[in-house]
Structure formats: C-alpha cells, structure tokens
Structure 1
Amino acid sequence: MGALGGATEQPFECSRAACREAAVWAILWRNPRIHGPERRKTWLACAEHRETLRAFLAARDFPLEVRGVEDLRGRA
C-alpha cells in the first residue's frame, strides 16, 4: 500500500493479487466474528477490481463501506 502523507507520497496500489494498478477505491470492512465494530480493515481497489473485491467480502456477510481512496489521505 502507498504512503499516507509525507513529502514522498506514493500512489495507493490495488490489493487484488498480482494487480499493481493505482487504487482509486477503498473498501473498509470487518469480520464481525473476530473484530469489534471499532476495528476496520482496508482493501484498496483499482477501477477494474472494485466490484470483485466488494463482492468477495459481501458474500461473506462482512459489513463494508466503499469510499474513494482520496478519503484515506491524512488518516495515518
């Protein structure tokens, strides 16, 4: 994943295996069996893989939210 802030900021990279495209989407999710509501993980997605990654998590009934990657800037 790319750097969050700083002078050497790099682009975010898609989380899909073998994909190195720039991420434009952030999928925030959690596994309710092991994570409380305050904990969320983040997968990053390029335009091509957004729906694939979202559908994978949704099929497991994991609570998720899809945002633009620009919403992550400055959260570190």
Structure 2
Amino acid sequence: MSGPLSPAGVSGTDVEHVCSAKGCRRTAAHAVIWNNPKLHTADRRKVWLACDEHEKSLADFVALRGFLIEVVPVEQLTDADG
C-alpha cells in the first residue's frame, strides 16, 4: 500500500491543496477520485480536489457520467492517486 501523497521534491512539509472548482481558491478538504474508462487505463485514478462547498457539485459532475470512484479526505490520498 502506498503512503500519503506528497508532491515531487516536497517531503515533510505542509502543502496547501486548492479546490479544483473553477475560480475557487479555498483549501480543499476532499478528493474526488474518478476515471474515464474511454481515456484512462482501469488502474488510473484521476483526482479533483474540493473544498466543503464544492465537494457535492464536483462529485455529482463525474458521477453523472459514470466516472466517480470515491470521495475521500485529502489526507487519505496516496501515491496511486493523481
């Protein structure tokens, strides 16, 4: 199992996760994990980060298309996500 996600070259430092919603700059608390099987291999896990306000709308957007895998707290992201 992979450990917590940390950006390349960043180790042991606080990293701010910014919401992926258009125009939002809030700190993300959630990770919307999805995969478009027409574009990505089955093991690929794409991630959109979401603040509390945008978690539902981002998750609903990918769920409507059948792409949603799961929504987890950003602290649970691993090296396999991204």
Same fold by TM (over 0.5)?
yes
The 5 Å alignment of 1:5-44 reads 5-44=10-49
Following the alignment from structure 1 to structure 2, what is the Cα–Cα distance between the partners of residues 71 and 43?
Answer: 14
For 1:17 and 1:52, locate their aligned partners in 2 and report how far apart those are by CA, in whole Å. 11
Question: What do you get for the CA RMSD once the two structures are aligned?
Answer: 1.9
Write out the 4+ residue segments of structure 1 that deviate beyond 6 Å after TM superposition: none
TM (norm. structure 2) is 0.77
Q: Is the 8 A contact 2:32 2:68 kept in 1?
A: no
* Structure 2 match to 1:53: 58
Alignment-mate amino acid for residue 27 of structure 1 = V
Task: Tell me which residue corresponds to 2:79.
Answer: 75
Count of paired positions: 73
Taking the aligned partners of 2:30 and 2:66, their CA distance within structure 1 comes to: 20
Relative contact order higher in (CA < 8 Å, ≥ 6 apart): 2
Structure 1 residue runs without a partner (length 5+):
none
Runs of 5+ unmatched residues, structure 2: none
